[in-house]
Amino acid sequence: MDQYVINLLFVGASFALYIGIAIWARAGSTAEFYAASRGVHPVVNGAATAADWMSAASFISMAGLIAFVGYDNSSFLMGWTGGYVLLAMLLAPYLRKFGKFTVPEFIGERFYSPTARMVGVICLIVASITYVIGQMTGVGVAFSRFLEVSNTTGLLIGAAVVFFYAVLGGMKGITYTQVAQYCVLILAFTIPAVFISLQLTGNPIPPLGLFSEHTASGQPLLERLDQVLTDLGFSEYTGHGGNTLNMVLFTLSLMIGTAGLPHVIIRFFTVPKVSDARLSAGWALVFIALLYLTAPAVGAMARLNITDLMWPNGTSSQAVTIDAIENDPEYAWMETWQQTNLLGFEDKNGDGRIQYYNDSNPEMQQVAEQNGWEGNELTKFNRDILVLANPEIANLPGWVIGLIAAGGLAAALSTAAGLLLAISGAVSHDLVRGAINPNISERGELMSARIAMAASVLVATYLGLNPPGFAAETVALAFGLAAASIFPVLMMGIFTKRVNNRGAVAGMLTGLIFTLGYVFMHKGWLFIPGTNQFPDTVDGSLLGLKSTAIGAVGAIVNFAVAFIVSKSTEDTPQEIKDLVDSVRSPRGAAEAQANH
């Protein structure tokens, strides 16, 4: 059967499943639309949370980032996983106990201020819109290759599907759809990894294969990969060559950004009891671990496969010929992906071969001069394609390629749906009902939520056509924004009584403006409108920090401003202090403590 037909069958079947679930679980009330009537079992919610969390960045982009950078990009693994520990221990149970539908609603009531609630809406929308751009970018990448359509057409198809099941089902429909999407994406990620691990190491368990012997060379796989890369002038895969401060702050930004992401937090509003919120987070970590333990192996093995393909008999031999690329089935993936404009190669010196090496390395420049090479001829390799192309690179069966196409789309669409729900809830529940029309009927609020969802899909689709970078980089910016604006105010709202409404508003605005300003300055957007570059360093940057790491600094600024302003203004009202006690303590505990 033709590969296009196989891809179409897998993707079509998965889409039919999602739409069928949405029809079956259609939301008929605001309680169902916002929180699935708080009736979701913790294990089910854990699987749905994992799918909501494991976005296009996790499925499509993360392994690609690890593959091309190595150890330094393990920050993604540490930050994203560690954030769930923070969420489970510090936020989820307390926010569930508060018993509201949205994050801005908690902010508004805890800080007794409609202004704080509206600022919370702004912070939520800015972070969520930035995040959803990365998901739509992933949808475009997957569709453009596997269904052989343009990036624009792929985005429109994906937007139509997510529009249907998210607008129709709300949180109730999205929850059960995300459980199905988790099953699709985890199978799609792990099955190719098992095959590739068997091919390279003989070990069917990818995380163990990463530390096993490379079958062809007899060396440990990571040692072999280090040797191959250094021979080509690249840095050691297992070495650390970046800015340590940048790495630490980037990891911290991802951790606290994870704990502050509204679309993840609202998942914990769907369980019946407070204890179920923490249990849900635990199950989510288990489900997430299945992919996150596999991703480093996928990245390392894919990098070794690509390098071995470019230098078939080792780096001392001659590079692959253009004739082989055009006629050998082993290289068919290169021509296929070249048509998507996400992969490019060029015979610069006209020798009929494609040299792949680090042409900025002084030692390799000498080697190139001796051999008559005129630069790295693998001119483009978009990191977002690596996981999707991996089965083709490893020459796996067609059904595996079709499965990974469905998995990539499931990862992107599941997170996009959660983000769009968070945005629509903020607009309809916090903006429309909370500020514009407090007396709106439940039916009217449900309609406004669906209209807000539809508008969000349109905005996300447009921005997905003009993203500021590849999926994981764009998502990392969203985490920085959530870390700098939302996480601090939630922590202060739960764990301190002294921060008042003015402090909370000042902290959120300062953290958001500082982080956004640094991102725009670092990327040159303040001076060169329309650029989509992601420079490694920019003259005048703060301590050499990249824009993706600045969220942790923004969070510190947020905390500092909130406490300074609160200390210089009036104290928090007593009823709000009692509210904090009731959220943090079991029923009656605060009174018992007061009596003793």
Run of H or E including 203 = none
Above 70 in pLDDT, residue 482? yes
pLDDT in tens, 546-576: 777 889 999 999 999 999 999 999 999 999 9
Lowest-confidence region among 436-440, 497-501, 516-520: 516-520
In sequence order, the 6+-apart residues with CB closer than 8 A to the CB of 417 are 52, 162, 165, 166, 174, 177, 178
Q: Using DSSP, state whether 213 is helix, strand or coil.
A: strand
Contacts 24+ apart (CB under 8 A), 569-573: 569/500, 569/502, 569/503, 570/500, 571/498, 571/500, 572/497, 572/498, 572/499, 572/500, 573/112
Sign of CA dihedral 128, 130, 134, 139: positive
Q: DSSP class of residue 220?
A: B
Give the distance from CA 237 to its chain's centroid: 23
- What residue segments make up the domains of the chain, in order of their start? 3-301+393-485
Confidence of residue 590 (pLDDT cuts 50, 70, 90): very low
Q: 590 or 150: whose pLDDT is higher?
A: 150
CATH architecture of the domain covering 3-301+393-485: Up-down Bundle (1.20)
Q: What pLDDT is attached to residue 94?
A: 87
Burial class (CB in 10 A: 0-12, 13-18, 19+), 293: middle
Handedness of CA 534, 535, 536, 537 (dihedral sign): negative
Would you state the pLDDT for residue 524?
Answer: 60
What is the pLDDT at residue 533? Answer: 45
Tens of pLDDT, residue by residue over 364-385, are 999 999 888 989 998 888 887 8
Give the integer Cα–Cα distance in Å for 505 and 135: 30
Residue 529 has a pLDDT of 41
Residues across the chain: 596
Q: What is the mean pLDDT of residues 13-40?
A: 78
* Least confident span in 157-171, 207-221, 395-409, 450-464: 157-171
Query: What does the block give as tokens for 452?
Result: 């807000």
Q: Quick: pLDDT tens for 522-542.
A: 666 544 444 444 444 444 456
pLDDT at 523: 62
Amino acid at 403: L
Q: Are 349 and 373 within 8 A, CB to CB?
A: yes
Whole-number Å distance between alpha carbons of 229 and 307: 8
CA–CA separation, 308 and 224 (whole Å): 11
CB 429 within 8 A of CB 105: yes
Which of 173-177, 306-310, 516-520, 533-537 tops mean pLDDT?
A: 306-310
* DSSP code per residue over 464-523: HHS-SSSHHHHHHHHHHHHHHHTHHHHHHHHH-SS--HHHHHHHHHHHHHHHHHHHHHHT
The residue among 354 and 147 whose pLDDT is bigger is 354
State yes or no: pLDDT of 592 exceeds 60: no
pLDDT in tens, 213-223: 999 889 999 99
Higher pLDDT, 356 or 160: 356
pLDDT tens readout for residues 79-107: 888 888 888 788 888 888 887 778 898 99
Query: Is pLDDT larger for residue 55 or for residue 354?
Result: 354
CA dist list (Å): 12 to 93, 158, 428, 549: 38, 12, 32, 39
Asked if the model's pLDDT at residue 462 lies above 90, the reply is: no
Q: What is the pLDDT of residue 127?
A: 86
pLDDT at 471 exceeding the cut of 60: no
What is the crossing angle of helices 398-425 and 151-201, to 10°? 130
pLDDT of residue 532: 45
E-state strands within 352-491: 380-381
Q: Which amino acid is at 270?
A: T
pLDDT in tens, 311-332: 887 766 788 999 998 888 888 8
Please tell me what DSSP assigns to residue 38: G
Q: What is the mean pLDDT of the chain?
A: 83
The predicted pLDDT at position 90 comes to 84
How many whole angstroms separate alpha carbon 511 and alpha carbon 229? 40
Predicted structure pTM score: 0.80
pLDDT digits 0-9 by tens, 251-293: 999 899 888 888 888 888 888 888 888 888 889 889 988 988 9
Q: State residue 528's pLDDT score.
A: 42
**Residue 380: φ, ψ to 5°:** -155, 130
Single-letter residue type at 157: I
Mean pLDDT (whole number) for 168-183: 80
H/E segment holding residue 379:
none
